[in-house]
Structure 1
Amino acid sequence: MSMTTRKIEAEGSLATSATVAYFSMEIAIDPAMPTYSGGLGVLAGDTLRAAADLSVPMVAVTLLHRHGYLSQSIDNDGWQHESPVEWVPADFCAEQSERVQVVIEGRTVHVRAWQYDVHDGGGHVIPVLLLDTDLDENSAEDRTLTHRLYGGDDRHRLCQEVVLGIGGIRMLRALAYRRVVQYHMNEGHAALLGLELLDERAKSFERDVFTSDDVQAVRRQCVFTTHTPVPAGHDRFDLNPVGRVLGRTDLFDMHEVFCCSGELNMTYLALNLSHYVNGVAKKHGEVSRQMLTPKDAEHHYQIDHITNGVHARTWAARSFANLFDQWLPGWREDSASLRGAVAVPENEVWQAHQAAKLDLIDEINSRQAIAYDPETLTIGFARRATAYKRANLLVSDPGRLRQIAEEHGPLQLVFAGKAHPRDEEGKRLIQQIVRMKDTLTPEIKIVYLENYDWELARLLVAGVDVWLNTPQPPLEASGTSGMKAAINGVPSLSILDGWWIEGCVDGVTGWSFGDASPAKPGDVKRFHEDAAALFGKLDEVVAPTYYRNRDAWVRIMSHAIALNGSHFNTQRMVQQYVLKAYYKS
């Protein structure tokens, strides 16, 4: 048992006197519950699973999302269509009898909670409270506030964030979580919890307004993790609608906490009310410090970094879990023991991979007419469909791609990912890839799998031979899909951005390509330069190694597990939060 684990268990014995409240707009807690959209929610779920493994006393707060994020279908022309995802909360969660109220635009909005318990497989439980406004007491409009994740306009989003932040604190009190010592905001969506904590403290001293002393006291209780390296990705609201929604303007007078150039910026609110702030990779910490501190600012935010991870037990394919059980007993309890993967017989690593690959190919072949082959080099790309992730980089030069296939062997490309309903450019990217299907065959097979979700991701990250990542630097905050692939011995082929700057040992854990320096949005010249570098790496290294040097390939697979899988996991990540943020002396 490591020293860090012993510390966590010691703190865990304090139970309610040392509880951490983890707030996130989305959390992937069960594959059948559509309470997440992608990486942010999956990370939140993996965090809770690791915290349960480590017996960290924690409670989580999120929204119910009765209609999910979106169910994706792609028509014959390659265009994405969306529909709600229907599910029955009572099939998974226990409704709590307590109710709380928040005031929105002068109306009283009633909020209830549903509880889902995250278990460690033993006795430790982390309750997740899913807030829900779909109650008869509420107006028809207010009943829909918690229906859909990231739905509606800015006003609707702000109302959701009132429910999450202010309603979340009130629900914790109603359910007797009165000894929370740290409030962890996973992104800025929950930043209004700080306003509620300030009001609470002022009232406890029989004051109507809060003071600078209250701000300092609240700051000691809050932790903030930022995930967004793009200024446009941070929630910002004009002060006039903020005043109408909250029904108050008194807070605007405290400019050092609430106001930023005539708007309420939820990221700055979280920054100003947190004693510990972190980015989600070393590079992202640097980018955040530059982006979030104005050039003429007297105050510079202290932004640390804790690189993201994934929950190894959740993301290891069945074949690899069985392999680890045989050769690395205890890996479920101690993810760091995966470093022993270099001692696992290489033929058994390959057999485990082929089993996972067959599971993926069976799924692909059940969905489309072109049969995929387990002996063909298969490249996977799955993430949110948006411009900066550049999903089309791999298919930008069909002639070069076909030449690589003719020289070394056939290729199979597997794409997946949803575009936000209002992201027309993201939808066009999907369409462009789908339309390449007839252009690339027969040397290159291509498929775009609909409705990328938790279960499909588990098949993809374990079943492809190479995990491709093509972001425009420095816009990849961290990226966790490549970490999931590494758990299953799948090497990454990626631009040096996000976590891959830390995880890449070129030719050992995978490969890098292209220019890692910052690029301007829409830089066509840079796009083509990175594409040429990608094709060069495929042509000169990746494809020939796969087809002609199987021993070298499997060694890379083993090192991906041993070096990356053993480190880029949520057990290590949560231990760092415990020591740096939650229980820092």
Structure 2
Amino acid sequence: MQFQPQKNLGKSIQDLLEQDPSFRTVAYFSMEIGIKTSIPTYAGGLGILAGDILKSAADMGVPMVGITLLYRRGYFEQEFNNEQWQTEKPVLWHPEQELTPLHNKVSIKIQNRDVNIQTWLYEIAGSSGYSIPIYFLDTDIESNHPEDRQLSWYLYGGETLYRLCQEIVLGVGGLRMLRDLGYNNIETFHLNEGHAGFLSLELMREMGYYDPAKVREHVVFTTHTPVAAGHDFFKYELIEKVMSSDALTTLKRMIPSEGVSMTELGLRYSRFVNGVSKKHAEISRKLFNAPTIQSVTNGIHPTTWVSPGMRKLLSRHIPGWENDPGRLVQALTLPSDELWSVHQASKMRLLAYILEETGVSLKSDILTIGFARRAATYKRADLIFSNLKKLIEIGAGKIQLIFSGKAHPKDDGGKALIQRIMNTSNKIKDSILMVYLPNHTMELGRLITQGVDIWLNTPLRPREASGTSGMKCALNGVMNFSVLDGWWIEGWIEDVTGWAIGPTPSDTDLHAYDESKDAIDLYEKLEKKIIPAYYSDREHWIRMMKNAIALNGSYFHTHRVIKEYCEKAYGISFRGI
């Protein structure tokens, strides 16, 4: 099929929708999309960000469509054995209870076999009445070879061959499915990370001739990580076993190397490339020697992550904030007593959950510090335990700790990190109470980010491309206590929106700096600033809560992210928004 680009760039969204209410001009491809806990097709931040972006697009009437894989067995359900070592089991869920199966089917060639793909539909209903369709690709069909049926079973599962086949399903199969569904007017294919990079190969096949410039006209690419392990690389000797000879010939022409870096594929064949914070864009420009990489700092979907009580409080005092989160700058005038009461209600809801699930009784009047994210070693979840004697001296009877997060099934380092934290809880339990909540989900993430008093974040610089959990906290009046990396460089004002850990970022400390400085600074800030403010200066504490909402919550949201993508990457404009 000849690829026929449409010429609508520069027109407003309203103009496009008036011409055709079903018009979609942007297709958003993501290996994972997190919509809600009962659809377990996400592992962490990347997928939840994708879901938040599509939710804001629906709220704002942006003509988008989402593409991902189904993952019938999810990412995994986390459990712990008697040695506190993480174990995994498949997530049992029923797609037919959440999604609508469609009759459309397409076929792709993998390992000289025809692999049939079907799709399921979920529609995100926006606050304005507009909806965004998300299509979940599924290879678990009787007509497929048993191995091919499993390609849509596990998110980030299997060996390199499994990942390669999945990414062909997403990039090539995803585009073919869109065409079969009738989406022939899409102008922009947005690759959320490099997993869908083979889409550019399929665009080339559709055109029927080799024209990299024409492909670049229709692709934009968001890179999410400066960590090498986050960039998939497939050697041609492996690709040769999977792709057809025609596709392989074209791909080798596109990437004349010993293999394909999916990030390089995205960089080479996109008209617009961005990192997910200002600092990440700077790092990426150096890492990839690509001076044109821009930045669109991540955000969160406000009404997904705000607590019920906070939503009512904000709506009462800042009408219209849900549609225009920029109005949250007015949070500076929120009544202090109401704000504190709403936060305490969220905190008590979290503590009740902990008591019910673990039997551990935490106290609502104790400073509660939260750390919940993917358990990777570079995130240093155990930094706060660097000096247990010092921690107990500072925090005995004054702080309590809540941890959560999954390690990748093959990441023994991440599993060992969790084990160390859980074992540490037994060592300090007489002085400082701590819990590790298993099986971190979106719903649990909501409870934690809404209910803690402080959000701790301690990654090795510069590996935190952005981070979004701290943004969810800020919207709920929870201050960040974080290493200056990712989004926090942009959101941090010391003693105003939160606190920094360690030295300020500079060109000299991008890849190596004295890690011990972070632990020392963490203890000093905790002892001299945070604990005294919480217990002795409630007025200042609540003022900082207001600042977090007004200065961070009003900016770090996906309504702003969508506007930036429309203006910088999609070439469509808003009128009256």
Q: State the distance in 2 between where 1:10 and 1:474 align.
A: 42
Instruction: Work out whether 1:266 is the aligned partner of 2:266.
Output: no
Q: Does 1:482 align with 2:470?
A: yes
One-letter amino acid of the counterpart of residue 239, structure 2: V
For structure 1, which runs of at least 5 residues remain unmatched after alignment? 1-5, 203-209, 294-299
In the alignment, what sits opposite 2:222? 225
Which residue pairs with 2:514 in the alignment?
526
Residue 37 (structure 1) aligns with: 43
2:204 is matched with which residue?
198
Pair 1:187 & 2:196 matched: no
1:545 paired with 2:521, answer: no
How many Å separate the matches in 2 of 1:533 and 1:287?
25
Q: Secondary structure at the match of 2:212?
A: helix
Question: 1:338 and 2:323 equivalent?
Answer: no
2:432: which partner in 1? 444
Which segment is superposed worse, 423-432 or 8-17?
8-17
Deviations 1:133-152 (CA, angstroms, capped at 9, x unpaired): 00000011100001000000
Map 1:146-225 onto structure 2 (within 5 A).
Answer: 146-202=152-208, 210-211=209-210, 214-225=211-222
What TM-score do the two structures reach when normalised by structure 1?
0.93
Output the amino acid matched with 2:168. Answer: V
The equivalent residue for 1:297 is: none
Computed over aligned residues only, the root mean square deviation of the Cα atoms, in angstroms, reads: 1.7
Alignment of 1:13-32 (within 5 A): 13-15=18-20, 18-32=24-38
Answering whether residue 219 of structure 2 is matched by residue 242 of structure 1, we say no
Letter in 1 for 2:284: S
Counterparts of 1:582 and 1:18 in 2: how far apart (Å)?
12
2:175 aligns to what SS in structure 1?
Answer: helix
Offset of 1:332 from its aligned partner? 1.1
- Contact 1:11–1:56 (CA under 8 A) maintained in structure 2: no
Secondary structure, in 3 states, of the residue corresponding to 2:189? strand
Match of 2:480 among 482, 492, 498: 492
CA contact (8 A) 1:472 1:519 kept: no
| 2:495 alignment partner in structure 1 | 507
The residue number in structure 2 matching 1:322 is 312
Which residue matches 2:407? Answer: 419
Question: Quick one: which amino acid aligns to residue 271 of structure 1?
Answer: L
After TM superposition, give the deviation of residue 301 of structure 1 in Å.
Answer: 4.8
> CA, structure 1 residues 332+75, in 2 after alignment: closer, same or farther (shift >3 Å)?
same
Query: How far off is 1:529 after superposition?
Result: 2.0
* Structure 1 residues 7 and 417: alpha-carbon distance in aligned structure 2, compared to 1, 3 A threshold: same
The structural deviation recorded for 1:75 is 2.7
The separation in 2 between residues aligned to 1:95 and 1:259, in whole angstroms, is 40
The unaligned stretches of length 5 or more in structure 2 are: 1-10
- The secondary structure found in structure 2 opposite 1:126 is strand
2:171 and 2:252 map into 1 onto residues whose CA distance is: 20
The 3 A distance-change label for structure 1 pair 443 and 189 is same
1:271·1:301 contact (CA, 8 Å) conserved in 2? Answer: no
Deviation of the 1:105 alpha carbon: 1.0
Q: Following the alignment from structure 2 to structure 1, what is the Cα–Cα distance between the partners of residues 75 and 521?
A: 35
What residue identity is the alignment partner of 1:143? R
Q: Where does structure 1 differ by over 4 angstroms across 4 or more consecutive aligned residues? A: 14-18, 249-256, 517-521
Instruction: Report % sequence identity.
Output: 46
Q: 1:46-85 counterparts in 2 under 5 A?
A: 46-85=52-91
Distance 1:98 1:371 in 2: 52
**Secondary structure in 1 matching 2:456:** strand
1:377–1:14 Cα change, 3 Å: farther
What does residue 206 of structure 1 align with? none
Give 1:378's match in structure 2, choosing from 364, 368, 390. 368
Question: Alpha-carbon deviation of 1:256?
Answer: 7.0
1:286 maps to 2:265: no
CA–CA separation in structure 2 for the residues paired with 1:117 and 1:488: 27
Q: Which residue of 2 aligns with 1:304?
A: 294
| Equivalent-residue separation in structure 2 for 1:249 and 1:147 (angstroms) | 28
Q: Would you say 1:349 and 2:355 are equivalent positions?
A: no
Does the 8 Å CA contact 1:252/1:259 hold for their aligned counterparts?
Answer: no
Q: Is the 8 A contact 1:410 1:443 kept in 2?
A: no
- Which residue identity is paired with 1:479? G
Match of 1:72, SS state, is strand
Matches within 5 A, 1:448-487: 448-487=436-475
